Structure 1
Amino acid sequence: MEHADLIVIGAGQSGLATAALAPRHGFARTLVLEADEALGGAWPRYYDSLTLFSPARYSSLPGMRFPGDGDRYPTRDEVVDYLRAYAHGLTADIRTSAMVVSVIREGDAWSVRAQDGREFAARAVIAASGDYGSPYVPDLSGRAEFAGRVLHAADYRTPGAFAGQRVVVVGGGNSAVQIAAELGEVAATTLATRRPIGWLPQRPLGRDLHWWLRHTRLDIAPIRRLLEKVPVSALDDGRYRAALNRYHVDRREMFSRLTAEGIVWADGTKEAVDTVILATGYRPSFPYLTGSGVLDADGRPQHHGGIATTVPGLGFVGMEFQRSFSSKTLRGVGRDAAHVLDRLRRQTR
């Protein structure tokens, strides 16, 4: 069994930011365990055209500026390259192809076991594996009889495979809008949502929204519960709304059910549909923490600000609204990592 001061599960943005800050908080030897063969977390698996909605200057992890013009909006591949370069500069021991299957408290330390049988131990563990491995797929009435294809945005890559089809994209957030906008050029596309899309200007009064969030401190912890209740909205500098209009991508109220041939819209109209793409987000999933004592009956972690409330020495980084509006973003994970590391150090020293 290998020993470390801290084990971080996941080598995406959250895990790497945590590993970078760990030495400053008294964790001399940090071991990062990543399930995939390569670094970068979920980023390499996103659709090809994904573009950040935060400028490069607000998309950096602790200690390394995102390269290039700070006002540009980086692409998926640029983020992947940045994360891998960031990882190479860390002192942490990063192991890939190390899928964690169990994390169990034994005495005053944690025992961590990988799928291949390897075992590790540490006085503190941080789960930073994110939720992108658990796409949320709502229960769609009639799905069993639908002869078309239903897929989650997690499985979408490029529009070419849908050329000439009738496609319905479910969702009104950033991913739904981006996917529908590019599909509109090659397929008859509709956005299906439960309420009208809430458009947020990317650059209100000439400044990027993230500048306003930072300088007004609107994304800090005290108002996170209020922000959780804000309806799903899409950030746009005008290009996506223009693309939706240009390609005649309409928005309709969510359909009531699927049929063998297609869907039944809310007004009772039936229409043949080839593909339904669910841009319905993700849900927290920590299967390796089953039996750790930190998950409630529904499998959700019991924590406060990323610190487990039922067991010592266990924390989380990268969960949505963990401490703030930006907790799940490149610009926010470093702040949360520092908070969690500081408190775990106090628990385990």
Structure 2
Amino acid sequence: MTHADLIVIGAGQSGLATAALAPRHGFERTLVLESADAPGGAWPRYYESLTLFSPARYSSLPGLRFPGDPDRYPTRDEVVDYLRDYARRLATEIHTAATVTSVTRQGDAWSVRTGDGRAFTARAVIAATGDYGTPHIPSLPGSQEFAGQVLHAADYRSPHPFDGQRVVVVGGGNSAIQIAAELGEAADTTLATRRPIGWTPQRPLGRDLHWWLKHTRLDVAPIRRLLEKVPVSVIDDGHYRTALERHGVDRREMFSRLTAEGVVWADDTKETVDAVVLATGYRLAFPYLIDSGALDSDGLPLHRGGIATAVAGLGLVGMEFQRSFSSKTLRGVGRDADHVLARLHRQRP
């Protein structure tokens, strides 16, 4: 049995930022438990061409500037390299290949167990696994009879396997647009959405959108409830919109069902389709917290700003709109981690 002041579950951007800030709040020994074989969270599993919509200057974790030109938009592999470099610099034990299976309260401490039988205890635990481990697969009528391929964006890597095929990408967010834009060069591609695609300029009045969010403070907590209700919009400097047009990627209303050969569009037109890529987002899931007393009947955490309200000594970092518009981003997780750590420290006996 290994004991620590704090156990952080997940070594992605949220977990690493939390571990970096923990000593400032009196947590002398912190352990990070990561299910993968290396730090980096979900980033190494994203599609190869993924590019951030935030420039490098707004993509840093606490204490380490993102390297290179601060005005460029980093790629997936650059983020992975950055996170792994960040992990190497931490004076924190990171246990990889350690999938947490249960977190339970035992007296004044938490008991944390992993799938390979290891056991840990800590005064406080922070769940920083986010939602990218649980892709949302919507119910598609006719999916059982469809003979083509249906995959989530979480399993999409590059357009090469789809050369010459007829592909439908479902979704109207940033990932859907990026994937459709590059698929269009290799395959006959259509975007299927339930509403028209909304576009947000990436550099209004010559300044990156994130500059405006920072200096107008539109991403601070009092505004977040309004932002949650804003329709999904794609951030673009014109590159992706142009790529869609150049490659002939059209947008159609979501199809009504799948058939053995393809799809039935909203106007009852049938079309043969080889593959459907679901860029339909992710859902929060904390299976290891099922017996913790921290979840509601739907399996979602009961919390206020990342502090569990049903149990003591448990925090969460990395959830969308947790405290602000940027809570789920590289630049936002540090601010939330600082908030959660400070309040957990006050709870300590």
Task: Indicate the TM-score class for this superposition, using the shorter chain for normalisation.
Answer: over 0.9
How far does the alpha carbon of each residue in 1:291-346 deviate from its partner, in whole angstroms, 9 at most, with x for none? 10011111111100000000000000000110000000000000000000000000
- For the pair 1:246 / 2:249, whether they are aligned, the reply is no
Q: Specify the code of the residue in structure 1 equivalent to 2:233.
A: S
Q: Output the CA distance in 2 between the equivalents of 1:247 and 1:94.
A: 44
TM-score by length of 1: 1.00
Q: Output the CA distance in 2 between the equivalents of 1:210 and 1:204.
A: 10
Q: Output the CA distance in 2 between the equivalents of 1:322 and 1:79.
A: 22
> What is the Cα deviation at residue 133 of structure 1?
0.5
> What is the Cα deviation at residue 130 of structure 1?
1.0
Query: Which 4+ residue blocks in structure 1 deviate beyond 3 angstroms?
Result: none
> What is the Cα deviation at residue 348 of structure 1?
1.1
Counterpart in the other structure of 1:223: 223
> What is the Cα deviation at residue 3 of structure 1?
0.3
Q: Specify the code of the residue in structure 1 equivalent to 2:13.
A: Q
Q: Output the CA distance in 2 between the equivalents of 1:260 and 1:147.
A: 5
Counterpart in the other structure of 1:303: 303
- For the pair 1:36 / 2:42, whether they are aligned, the reply is no
Map 1:161-200 onto structure 2 (within 5 A): 161-200=161-200
Map 1:31-180 onto structure 2 (within 5 A): 31-180=31-180
Q: What is the aligned residue count?
A: 349
Q: Secondary structure at the match of 1:6?
A: strand
Consecutive unaligned residues in structure 1, runs of 5 or more? none
> What is the Cα deviation at residue 161 of structure 1?
0.2
Q: Output the CA distance in 1 between the equivalents of 2:322 and 2:213.
A: 17
Counterpart in the other structure of 1:340: 340
Counterpart in the other structure of 1:324: 324
Q: Secondary structure at the match of 1:176?
A: helix
> What is the Cα deviation at residue 69 of structure 1?
0.5
Q: Output the CA distance in 1 between the equivalents of 2:144 and 2:86.
A: 45
Q: Output the CA distance in 2 between the equivalents of 1:299 and 1:141.
A: 26
Consecutive unaligned residues in structure 2, runs of 5 or more? none
Q: Output the CA distance in 2 between the equivalents of 1:71 and 1:202.
A: 12
Counterpart in the other structure of 1:280: 280
Q: Specify the code of the residue in structure 2 equivalent to 1:81.
A: D
How far does the alpha carbon of each residue in 1:26-47 deviate from its partner, in whole angstroms, 9 at most, with x for none? 0000000000011100000000
> What is the Cα deviation at residue 225 of structure 1?
1.1
Counterpart in the other structure of 2:12: 12
How far does the alpha carbon of each residue in 1:66-123 deviate from its partner, in whole angstroms, 9 at most, with x for none? 0000000000000000000001111111110010000000000000001111000000
Cα-Cα RMSD: 0.5
Q: Secondary structure at the match of 1:288?
A: helix
Q: Output the CA distance in 2 between the equivalents of 1:303 and 1:77.
A: 33
Q: Output the CA distance in 2 between the equivalents of 1:348 and 1:264.
A: 58
Q: Output the CA distance in 2 between the equivalents of 1:261 and 1:207.
A: 47
Identity of matched residues, %: 79
> What is the Cα deviation at residue 15 of structure 1?
0.1
Q: Secondary structure at the match of 1:345?
A: helix
Q: Secondary structure at the match of 1:332?
A: helix
TM-score by length of 2: 1.00
Q: Output the CA distance in 1 between the equivalents of 2:203 and 2:223.
A: 22
> What is the Cα deviation at residue 223 of structure 1?
1.2
Q: Output the CA distance in 1 between the equivalents of 2:273 and 2:341.
A: 49
Q: Output the CA distance in 1 between the equivalents of 2:151 and 2:199.
A: 25
Q: Specify the code of the residue in structure 1 equivalent to 2:46.
A: Y
Q: Output the CA distance in 1 between the equivalents of 2:207 and 2:152.
A: 33
> What is the Cα deviation at residue 54 of structure 1?
0.1
